[in-house]
Every structure is written in C-alpha cells, then in structure tokens.
Amino acid sequence: MLHSEKWGESPRMKKMEMPAVSLLFQLVLQELNLFYKRDVNGVGVLYDLLRSHWLQALLKVYECLHYYIRKKPVPVIPQARVLSYEVEELLREVPQSTEIQELRRLLRTPHFKALLSAHDTVAQKDFEPVLPPLPDNIPENEEAMRIVCLVKNKQPLGATIKRHEITGDIMVARVISGGLADRSGLLYAGDKLVEVNGVPVEGLEPEQVIHILALSHGTIMFKLIPVSDRPVSNQTTLYVRAMADYCPLQDPTIPCADAGLPFKKGEILQIVDQNDVLWWQAKKALDLNTCAGLIPSNQLLKRKQREFWWSQPFQPYTCLRSTIRECVLCEMELVFFHLHSVHGFNTSIFLLLPAGFRRSMRLCRRKSQNIQQSCYARCPSICYSTVAAPYEEVVRYQRHPSDRNRLIVLVGPSGVGINELRRRLIQTNPRRFQSAVPHTTRAQKSYEVNGREYHYVSKETFENLVYTHRMLQYGEYKGNLYGTSVDAVRTVLDEGKVCIVDLEPQGIQVARTHELKPYIIFIKPPSMSCMRQSRENARIITDYYVSIRFKEEDLEEMEDSAKKMEAQFGQFFDQVVVNDSLQEACVQLLSAVCRAQDEPQWVPATWICSDFQT
C-alpha cells in the first residue's frame, strides 16, 4: 500500500507524531538528568534503566507499531496527475531525454492507471468494523461474563449450539476450525450463552436462538459465560484418504448436517480436530483455505462397519450412509453455522509380438470360468479388513531419483483397451517402460523363449510361489496356471525401468506394499455413445486366433463392469484415464506415469514411516 506521509520530516513534526508514551519517556529523562547530577538517592538507577538499550529498543518497536497503526493510505491519483503534468513540462524543456519519455510512457500505460485506480479504491474504503457501544447494564460480576461482537460477512459463523442435557442452558457445542468464530478467538465450545443481541436466551429452545440470530443484521452481540476449562489444542495435523463416500445431508446422526463435510472415496482429507471421539473436523486437501467440516471419526465408522459386517458377512463393501443411519447419538446440535444461506447472512495376440507385449492375466478371461482371483482365495480376511478401514493415513511422497521406480498398475474392465494402451506406452520408450514376464505351467512352444514370453515352471514351483505370497495374481486357464510374480516385477524395477502390469482390482491390495509403491491407474470406458463410435472397427480378442467385433452387449458389459469397479475400488485409484480416443488416452497415460515417478503423491503412511513398517 502506498502512503502519502513521511514519518518525522522535521523534529517538530516528529514530536507531534510521537506516541504519548515516548513523549513521556523523554520528559522523564530530561527531569532525571537534572537530579542525576545532584546525586539524589535512586535517581541514578532509574536514569540508567530508562536509558538502557533494551528499553530504548522496545520503545522504538512501540513507536514503529504506533506509526503504522495510525497511518492510513490516501488516494494517489491526484498526485499522479500532478506528476504527469510536471513530466510534460520537463519534456518541453528537454524533449530528447529518454528517461523522461520512458516515465511519460509508463504513466500513460493502462495497467499503471489500473494499478493506481485499484489502490485508491482500497485506500478510500473503511475496513474497520463499526461495533456497537457496550451496554450500560453490564452486571457486577463482570469477570464471569464476556461480551462478544462478531461482524457478519459472507462466511458462516462456524459454530454450533446445543441445549445442556442437565441444566438446560444453551451452550456453544463446537467451534469449527477456520470459521469466523474460531478466527475471532472469542467463542469456545462450552461457553454458556446468556444473551444474543440483547435478548436473554434463558428458557429458549436452540431453534429460537437461531431465529434471533437470523433476524439480526450487521453485528451479532453475544453475552456469555466463558467455559472454565478451555480445551487445550495440542492436535497434530493428519492426512487421510477417504475409503468411502460420505454425505452429511443424508446422515441423520450427524450433530449438525450443515456443518458436515461431504467427501468421495479416494479424496484426501486433512483432519484438523479430533477432540470429539465421534465427530472429527476436516478439510479437503485440495481446498485448505475453507473452514473445516464435520466428518465421522475413524472409531465411529469402524464400529458401524463392524456391525454391518457381522450382519452381512459376504458383502465387504458397505454403504457408509446406511451404516451411519443406524447410529443414534444423544447429542443434538443446532446450527448457526450456515446462517448465511438459510437466513440471508452473507454468508493381444502374443504370437508375433515382441517380449513383454503379451497378454497376461487378462488372457481370454472373458471366456474362461476357471480363472481364480487370487486375492480373495488367499486372504479374504486381510482384504476385507484393509478395504473396510474408513480412512487410510497418507503422507506426501516424492520418489528420490536414486530410488526404484514405482510400479504402474493398470486396472479396468475387460476389453477397455488395457493391452493396447500398455503396448503403445511401452512402444514410446521400450528402454524405460517394460511389462513383467508372467509365469505359466503350460508347455513351452517351439518359437518361445523361456523368460521372454513366459517363465515356464512346473505346477509345484508355481504353487510354491502362490503359497509363499510371491504372486501378485494368478489364475487357471484350460488346465494351466498363469500368473504375475513379485519377482518378475522386481527384475524390471531393478533394471531401473518402469514396470507396467495389469491387475484385476482384487489384486490391488496384494500389490500395495512399501516395496512396490504401486501407482494405480484406472482405464475407464467412455460413454456408450462414444464407445459405439470409437469401437466401431475394433475387435475383441477372445482367443489367440479369434477376434470378433464388439457387440452392443459387450459395450454394456464393459460399462457395467467399470461402474462396479469404481464403486468398489475407486478409493485406490490414483488416476483415472478415460479411453475414448486411443491417442489422447495414451498421452494421458504417459503423463500420469511420469507424474507418478517425478512428482509428489499421496501414499499410505505405512509405506514411508518406519514406525509402520513391519
């Protein structure tokens, strides 16, 4: 901000602008000076004290603060006009002066004029809120009472009230972090309301208090008895990934729906307050400037999920809304949170393809009924418990250039184009990107090379890999076992390359380890109408030698399957690429893969913090 004054231009001016304290200091020192020479008792000590460096420095700070508080910006356009006029005059005298010509050009530029105009608009506004005078009839026990004035603006007040179950008093139930009430530092959870805008609240219902607030304009004045034990905030900020959707407006148990924070699975939330065991306060990591909202705590969600799990043991994925609906809480909070909105507050065919370009687990699975999904077969309880955790603690992770690359996992419905995209991605830079060579128990063909198309192993070896948890996923096709091993992935990563694998979504959990740090990319089909166009000439590869056109039912199945995958596993997707135009999808895929390796990403805290690692 530009200021028109210069501080202390003359000694007289300086004296006039000097704050009273400084002036007093000077006078006292002058007086003491007289007595100092006469050696009056104690004068020397006082004189030295007042002249001490630290006190002088403190006084200097005080003077500076005083000066800036008093100083108000003034409009500068009139001065700019005078300057322009003087520049013109000067140019008449020295027309060839490039400096003055440059100054004239600057003064005439639209952005400079706009800057001055913006400055003056701000300078002429009075931003100081006009507070009403304090009431005359402040009670004698003033100590116990506090008057709080909050000026309404476009933001919600950010606090909730409730009736105390025993005393019937109207209390501040909670103050939402980052809201107006919180930033004022004047309202605390547990404060007892006595009056609102001069109206006593004793005997009133919380709804009636809300009504009084709704009718008030300008400034809201609360008379309240402060809570005796203010909560000491020693919270550490925590980031979590939401593992389910949550909609506060459809949750009848939330103490205050308007104060709730809706979120979708996969979103990163910053938990700012965990004081309440049942209801936390959180912000979205993408929108940290807003005030926080209420979300169910980990404990509350886990409890409900457990109850639901025991009643429906074969349906691991629960609808958060349905579980929460069962919860009955005694607390009933009323909002003066969103008053502004309610009451007007401003408120492939691998035969001929080079190594790595073969189909792995996706091999003819549409036709096969025998392919098993390893995840559930091997560890249903582990999968369930992890999937069902309501929040997953996450941290920001930036891969160090000397670290191994993160595993890239492609997930999507059969036929969506995963093989095609992976093939194209690898083709862009085969020295950087590579698939993992799968294992199989089927016989090696004459033109195949062990370790190129497949690792050909015996059934016993294969089963041993499965039992020792070294298979990311595996399945059976026409009596033979196929699978992708962790060792095969590790081989690619150890060569400094980026390993690209496709997994069934149930296999995501197996791959999510500290070692592989997988980055999951969901390949999503476009809308049905777009698919009809883009897949008009495409072929589904149903067996090594058979390819047929996509039928309407294939497209429907793809869409249906994609929806189910998103609904059940969406929380694990780091990136979604819609495969409409192959070229565009490939570009998106390439940039996502590069981002995963080179830019900071949210990853489970267990992958990074040594405390979590087992």
Ligand X SMILES: Nc1ncnc2c1ncn2[C@@H]1O[C@H](COP(=O)(O)OP(=O)(O)OP(=O)(O)O)[C@@H](O)[C@H]1O
Binding residues for ligand X (CB under 6 A): 359, 362, 366, 412, 414-420, 534-535, 538-541, 579, 582, 585
Tell me whether residue 10 or residue 583 sits nearer to ligand X (CB atom): 583
Alpha helix ranges (H) inside 440-581: 459-467, 486-494, 508-511, 528-534, 552-569
8 Å CB contact between 522 and 573: yes
**Which C-beta is closer to ligand X: that of 206 or that of 505?**
505
Q: Which is nearer to ligand X, 274 or 568 (CB)?
A: 568
The least CB distance from residue 417 to ligand X, in Å, is 3
Number of neighbouring beta carbons within 10 Å of residue 165: 9
Give the residue with the Cβ less far from ligand X, 123 or 582.
Answer: 582
Structure tokens at 250: 């459809």
Question: Between residues 32 and 371, which has the closer beta carbon with respect to ligand X?
Answer: 371
- Hey, what are 496's tokens? 């400094």
- For residue 22, CA distances in Å to 46, 59, 349 come to 16, 7, 89
CB 263 within 8 A of CB 287: no
Nearer to ligand X, 194 or 418 (CB): 418
Residue 195 vs 476, nearer CB to ligand X: 476
Cβ contact 139:145 at 8 Å: yes
DSSP annotation of 507 reads G
Which residue's CB comes closest to ligand X?
417
Backbone angles phi, psi at 560, to 5 degrees: -65, -45
Q: Phi first, then psi: what are they for 192, rounded to 5°?
A: -100, 125
Whole-angstrom distance, CA of residue 73 vs CA of residue 243: 51
Q: Closest distance between ligand X and the C-beta of residue 586, in Å? A: 9
Structure token digits, residue 584 = 């565009």
Identity of the residue, 338 or 358, whose beta carbon is nearer to ligand X in the bound complex: 358
Measured from the CB of residue 578, what is the shortest distance to ligand X in angstroms?
9
Contact 213, 220 (CB under 8 A): yes
Nearest-approach distance from CB 533 to ligand X, in angstroms: 9
Closer of 29 and 538 to ligand X (Cβ): 538
Q: What is the nearest approach in angstroms of ligand X to the Cβ of residue 335?
A: 48
Q: Which helix (H) or strand (E) holds 215?
A: helix 206-215
As measured in angstroms, the least distance from the Cβ of 536 to ligand X is 8
Give, as one character, the DSSP assignment of residue 391. Answer: E
Residue 593 beta carbon to ligand X: minimum distance, rounded to whole angstroms = 17
Q: Among residues 256 and 585, whose Cβ is nearest to ligand X?
A: 585
Q: How far is the CB of 558 from ligand X (least distance, A)?
A: 9
> Rounded to the nearest whole angstrom, what is the least distance from the CB of residue 584 to ligand X in the complex?
9
**CB closer to ligand X, 340 vs 366:** 366
Half-sphere exposure of 332 (CA within 13 A, CB side): 9
- Residue 390 CA to residue 323 CA, distance in Å, equals 12
Shortest Cβ distance from residue 534 to ligand X (Å)?
4
- Here the tokens at position 188 are 């605390």
3-state secondary structure of 132: coil
Question: Which of 292, 245, 254, 287 lies closest to 273, judged by CA?
Answer: 292
Distance CA 50, CA 61 (A): 15
Rg (CA), the chain: 35
Cβ proximity to ligand X: between 366 and 378 the closer is: 366
Of 299, 260, 266, 265, residue with least CA distance to 282: 260
Which strand (E) or helix (H) includes residue 242? strand 238-242
Q: Shortest distance, CB of residue 577 to ligand X, whole angstroms?
A: 10
Beta partners for residue 178, in sequence order: none
**In 39-176, alpha helices (H):** 43-50, 53-70, 77-93, 98-108, 110-123
Measured from the CB of residue 582, what is the shortest distance to ligand X in angstroms? 4
Report in angstroms how near the CB of residue 370 gets to ligand X at its nearest.
16
Cα separation, 214 vs 336, whole angstroms: 9
- Give 485 or 534: the residue with its C-beta nearer to ligand X: 534
Of 448, 445, 501, which is closest to residue 472 (Cα–Cα)?
501
**532, 555 in Cβ contact below 8 A?**
yes
Sign, CA torsion 68/71/75/78: negative
Give the residue with the Cβ less far from ligand X, 175 or 410.
Answer: 410
Residue with tokens 């980055």: 519
Q: Decide whether 323 or 506 has the Cβ nearer to ligand X.
A: 506
Residues 6+ apart with CB under 8 A from 344: 214
Query: Locate tokens 């009933």: which residue?
Result: 332
The least distance separating ligand X from the CB of residue 366, rounded to whole angstroms, comes to: 6
Helix axes 20-38, 43-50, angle to 10 degrees: 140
